[in-house]
């Protein structure tokens, strides 16, 4: 069965709508702090969390191994050059479309990185019992202490922390409005 380019174009528009909906869902969810997410390291927007996450803290990773996850996503935008024969003015449309795709992708990636780094701490245990009382706050130095949680045990190599920016690969789901 040959469906043609019209079907592919409609499918791509549908997928674009799904992608935009997911991005909007993420950003809406980032403004809705929920108490049940605090043990997982999500506290909502806070400048102190952002500054604590600003510096590098590679743990078994290097700059290039982290960059390797970003690079394939950035090169996929060049795939539009494959349909250049269908364009009215390919010499104008391909460079403009490629640069616009790079710009939009870069802005979305930067926005997600800054917003995630501004509302989730690096390490969290996920244990609701890791709260700290006001009399022991002098020993607690992380920004999570301000919210009543002590995740300092995560700095020990013996402790297995499964949440926070460093340890949980599902932080996008944690922040999103519908946990999808």
pLDDT digits (tens, 9 = 90+) for 14-37: 998 999 999 999 999 989 878 888
Q: Cα–Cα distance between 152 and 161 in angstroms, integer? A: 10
Confidence of residue 139 (pLDDT cuts 50, 70, 90): low
Give domain status of residue 180, yes or no: no
Domain ranges, residue 26: 4-175
H-only helix segments in the chain: 4-30, 47-54, 63-75, 90-119, 171-175
Q: Is the dihedral of CA 85, 91, 92, 93 positive or negative?
A: positive
Does pLDDT of 110 surpass 80? yes
Confidence of residue 114 (pLDDT cuts 50, 70, 90): very high
Higher pLDDT, 20 or 131: 20
Does pLDDT of 1 surpass 60? no
The DSSP symbol for 124 reads B
Number of domains observed in the structure of the chain: 1
Both tokens of residue 108?
């979305």
Give domain status of residue 89, yes or no: yes
Share of the chain above pLDDT 70, in %: 82
Q: Burial of 91 by CB count in 10 Å (0-12 exposed, 13-18 middle, 19+ buried)?
A: exposed
pLDDT digits (tens, 9 = 90+) for 82-103: 666 677 887 888 888 888 888 8
Q: Cα–Cα distance between 27 and 48 in angstroms, integer? A: 19
Give me the mean pLDDT over the 132-138 stretch.
Answer: 63
Give domain status of residue 25, yes or no: yes
Give domain status of residue 38, yes or no: yes
Give domain status of residue 51, yes or no: yes
Share of the chain above pLDDT 90, in %: 14
> What is the reported pLDDT for 134?
62
Give domain status of residue 43, yes or no: yes
From residue 64, give the alpha-carbon distance in Å to each of 15, 86, 117. 31, 37, 20
Give domain status of residue 41, yes or no: yes
Give domain status of residue 119, yes or no: yes
**What is the overall mean pLDDT for the chain?**
80
């Amino acid at each position: 069965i040959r469906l043609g380019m019209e079907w592919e174009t409609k499918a791509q528009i549908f997928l674009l709508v799904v992608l935009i909906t997911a991005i909007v869902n993420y950003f809406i969810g980032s403004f809705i702090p929920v108490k049940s997410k605090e043990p997982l390291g999500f506290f909502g927007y806070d400048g102190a969390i952002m500054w604590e996450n600003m510096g590098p803290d590679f743990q078994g990773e290097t700059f290039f191994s982290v960059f390797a996850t970003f690079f394939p996503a950035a090169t996929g935008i060049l795939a539009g050059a494959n349909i250049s024969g269908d364009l009215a003015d390919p010499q104008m449309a391909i460079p403009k479309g490629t640069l616009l795709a790079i710009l939009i992708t870069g802005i979305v990636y930067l926005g997600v990185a800054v917003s995630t780094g501004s509302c989730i701490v690096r390490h969290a245990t996920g244990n609701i019992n890791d709260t700290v009382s006001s009399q022991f706050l002098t020993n607690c130095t992380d920004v999570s202490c301000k919210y009543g949680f002590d995740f300092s045990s995560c700095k020990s190599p013996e402790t297995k922390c499964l949440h926070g920016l460093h340890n949980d690969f599902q932080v996008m789901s944690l922040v999103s409005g519908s946990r999808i």
